[in-house]
């Protein structure tokens, strides 16, 4: 999606000024837009489908998620017993009491054979103990099947680890394409006065890109945290700087403890230290306490956690969200905003508008490629080659070093950038060879 080659299709190309990066940006922006554009388009479309999935699952799974409000609730222990009878093949993982009077209790199990990050969840009416259904849910947010399916579609197109390459490629190049487009447009915006044809398309492309650029940068950065290769490097950096998400200490002095306290007592103890709904209760493993943690991921975040002694129901430790390291808070806010959860409906609308803008940017970019085609050719052409050779060494060396560092940190970006350079070199070699052949034959 070339922002502009600044050369009329029928005019001879002007030589780029020595020492400027603009010609390099033009050519890189062109190749990245043309070749990465389809991946960005898929990411944008699947992102729009996902963003309103929370509302959709409330409607589709109304029977499992909601019940008429009652007056007297059964104990959590009785509700867990109902769920365990319905899922005998599972191992109890956690319990999520209904956060409002019309919500079911969700009892979550791990089951052998389920895909990674999937759980089997039983939905129980807290008032009469009725089993409302059993479904396979996804992730820490307890996504219902339809949201889990859309999440996987957005992340890897249901192609496993191989499919994750598409989303990492899109996230890696999104910031590069947007940054290059901003530099190109704002560097020459005052020279744009035409209102027809390719100039009009360029104006729409650049203006829209400017308005949505900040959110696109944010989505690119947060999207990389989920990626396969760059995400691993980001995790290592966070670990080295102690920026990981903290967890409440839950280890007990004794290795083996026979729990005498049930879910109801553990929840009651957590209430005494201010852990209101919504919460998730994790049963004690060997040598561990109950962990009760808040799971609200909208603003304001509720992420406090408490460890409860399974022998006495004593509160052993409390971890407040306000005490998290700043980097961990930023990561939590970033992930939740990327998913459209942090600010509720407003967050979702902003993401949907920006994704629509990205789709339009891609469409306008391809249209400019079409409009720039020379006479007798079906497609447009990139900015004239040779721009790297004209750069002075003081610019070329840091530029190459930055590319190598970025390629090491984000390998999918690095390999694709190398692929662009090889493709460009091959096309240049072929064009030179064809020109030599024409000259030698006197054509």
pLDDT of residue 429: 82
Confirm if 61 and 213 have CB atoms less than 8 A apart.
no
Give the pLDDT score at 55: 96
- What lies within 8 Å, CB to CB, of 209 at 6+ separation is 178, 181, 182, 185, 357, 361
Residue 255: the pLDDT is 65
CB-neighbour burial class of residue 20 (10 A; exposed 0-12, middle 13-18, buried 19+): middle
Distance of CA 396 to the CA centre of its chain: 33
pLDDT at 6: 37
Residue 304 dihedral angles phi and psi, to the nearest 5°: -65, 155
Q: What is the pTM of this model?
A: 0.87
Helix axes 197-225, 344-371, angle to 10 degrees: 130
Q: Note the pLDDT of residue 14.
A: 43
Rounded CA gap, 394 and 381, in Å?
A: 29
Q: pLDDT of 241-283, one tens digit each? A: 888 899 999 999 876 667 789 999 999 999 999 999 999 999 9
Q: Which residues of the chain have pLDDT under 70?
A: 1-20, 187-196, 255-257, 374-387, 435-443
Q: Is 224 exposed, middle or buried (0-12, 13-18, 19+ CB in 10 A)?
A: buried
């Amino acid at each position: 999606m070339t922002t502009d080659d600044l050369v009329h299709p029928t005019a001879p190309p002007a030589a780029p000024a020595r020492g400027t990066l603009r010609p390099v940006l033009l050519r890189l922006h062109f190749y990245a837009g043309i070749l990465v554009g389809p991946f960005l388009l898929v990411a944008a479309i699947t992102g729009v489908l996902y963003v309103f999935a929370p509302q959709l699952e409330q409607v589709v799974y109304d029977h499992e998620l909601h019940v008429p409000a009652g007056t007297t609730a059964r104990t959590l222990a009785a509700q867990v017993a109902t769920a365990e009878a319905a899922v005998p093949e599972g191992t109890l993982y956690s319990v999520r009491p209904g956060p409002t009077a019309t919500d079911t209790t969700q009892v979550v199990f791990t089951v052998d054979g389920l895909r990674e990050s999937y759980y089997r969840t039983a939905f129980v009416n807290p008032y009469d103990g009725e089993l409302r259904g059993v479904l396979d849910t996804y992730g820490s947010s307890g996504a219902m099947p339809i949201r889990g399916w859309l999440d996987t579609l957005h992340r890897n197109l249901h192609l496993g680890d191989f499919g994750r390459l598409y989303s990492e490629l899109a996230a890696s190049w999104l910031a590069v394409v947007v940054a290059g487009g901003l530099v190109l447009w704002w560097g020459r915006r005052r020279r744009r006065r035409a209102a027809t044809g390719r100039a009009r398309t360029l104006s729409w492309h650049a203006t829209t890109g400017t308005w949505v650029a900040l959110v696109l940068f944010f989505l690119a950065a947060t999207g990389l945290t989920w990626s396969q290769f760059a995400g691993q490097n980001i995790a290592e950096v966070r670990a080295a700087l102690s920026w990981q998400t903290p967890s409440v200490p839950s280890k007990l002095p004794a290795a083996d403890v026979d729990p005498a306290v049930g879910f109801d007592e553990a929840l009651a103890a957590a209430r005494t230290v201010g852990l209101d709904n919504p919460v998730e209760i994790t049963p004690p493993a060997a040598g561990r306490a109950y962990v009760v943690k808040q799971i609200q991921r909208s603003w304001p975040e509720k992420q406090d956690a408490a460890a409860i002694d399974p022998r006495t129901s004593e509160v052993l430790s409390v971890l407040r969200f306000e005490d998290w390291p700043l980097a961990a808070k930023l990561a939590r806010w970033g992930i939740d905003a990327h998913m459209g959860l942090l600010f509720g409906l407003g967050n979702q609308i902003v993401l949907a508008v920006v994704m629509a803008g990205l789709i339009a940017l891609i469409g306008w970019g391809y249209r400019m490629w079409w409009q720039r085609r020379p006479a007798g050719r079906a497609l447009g052409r990139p900015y004239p080659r040779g721009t790297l050779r004209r750069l002075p060494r003081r610019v070329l060396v840091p530029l190459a070093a930055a590319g190598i560092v970025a390629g090491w940190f984000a390998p999918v970006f690095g390999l694709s950038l190398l692929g662009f350079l090889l493709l460009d070199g091959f096309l240049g070699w072929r064009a030179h060879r064809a020109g030599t052949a024409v000259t030698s034959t006197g054509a």
